[in-house]
Amino acid sequence: MSARPYVIEEMISAKAIAARIEALCRDIQKEFAETNKLVVVGLLRGSFVFIADLVRELDLPIEVDFLEASSYGDGMESTREVRILKDLRGAIEGRDVLVVEDIVDTGHTLNHVTQLLRTRRPAHLRSIALLDKPSRREVDFRADWIGFEIPDEFVVGYGIDFAQRNRNLPFIGKVRFT
């Protein structure tokens, strides 16, 4: 928990997020049009709001599962060493899988998770992240769909936290220390 006081400045409005999700879902539906076995996998905890809005825009038969990987702890820096804290409940062999992440930052988390899930032999594995900070990348990873590219700012809201706070903001905001 940060003791330093900060303010949150809106960066992406709730309306802009909703419009972007609609457009993304039109694309995702085309990609998975033929499937009746899509599993949408949310990475806990940051993606819980995004996945909730995403699946309600998807006009496809889907299942939802969750996986939790460690990353930031309670700070602002990635630990880089990714550990699986909670694994999927279901098997994904032969299934189409869409992994849903809040932010791709250094890239370690999604890179590790997609590599792990590939070893389980899904038919297709795709990934989507609401936000991407390409300037922070440390491993060569690109999600198949990105909501918004953002600069190197620490952001909160729409499921994303700073030391477990601010997940319930309806918009994406940047943290400014005062």
3-state secondary structure of 81: coil
Q: Judged by CB, which is closer to ligand IMP: 28, or 143?
A: 143
For residue 80, the tally of other CB atoms under 10 A from its CB is: 12
101 backbone dihedrals φ, ψ, rounded to 5°: -125, 155
Is 25 a binding residue for ligand IMP by CB under 6 A? The answer is no
Q: How many residues bind ligand IMP (CB under 6 A)?
A: 16
- Of the chain, the end-to-end C-alpha distance in Å amounts to 16
Q: Judged by CB, which is closer to ligand IMP: 9, or 61?
A: 9
Is the peptide bond prior to 121 cis by the omega test (within 30 degrees of 0)?
A: no
Is 147 a binding residue for ligand IMP by CB under 6 A? The answer is no
Question: Which one among 97, 108, 127, 157 touches ligand IMP, defined by CB under 6 A?
Answer: 108
Is 78 a binding residue for ligand IMP by CB under 6 A? The answer is yes
- Tokens 């006081």 locate to 5
Residues labelled as active-site residues: 105
> Of 171, 144, 147, 146, which is closest to residue 160 (Cα–Cα)?
171
For residues 137 and 150, is the Cβ–Cβ distance under 8 A? no
Using the rule CB under 6 A, give the single segment among 8-16, 32-40, 92-100, 102-110 that binds ligand IMP: 102-110
H/E segment holding residue 127? strand 124-132
Is 173 a binding residue for ligand IMP by CB under 6 A? The answer is no
Using the rule CB under 6 A, give the single segment among 26-34, 49-57, 60-68, 106-114 that binds ligand IMP: 106-114
Give the C-alpha separation, 177 to 79, whole Å: 22
Q: Closest distance between ligand IMP and the C-beta of residue 37, in Å?
A: 26
Is 51 a binding residue for ligand IMP by CB under 6 A? The answer is no
Is 72 a binding residue for ligand IMP by CB under 6 A? The answer is yes
By CB under 6 A, name the binding residues for ligand IMP: 46, 71-72, 78, 101-109, 154-155, 160
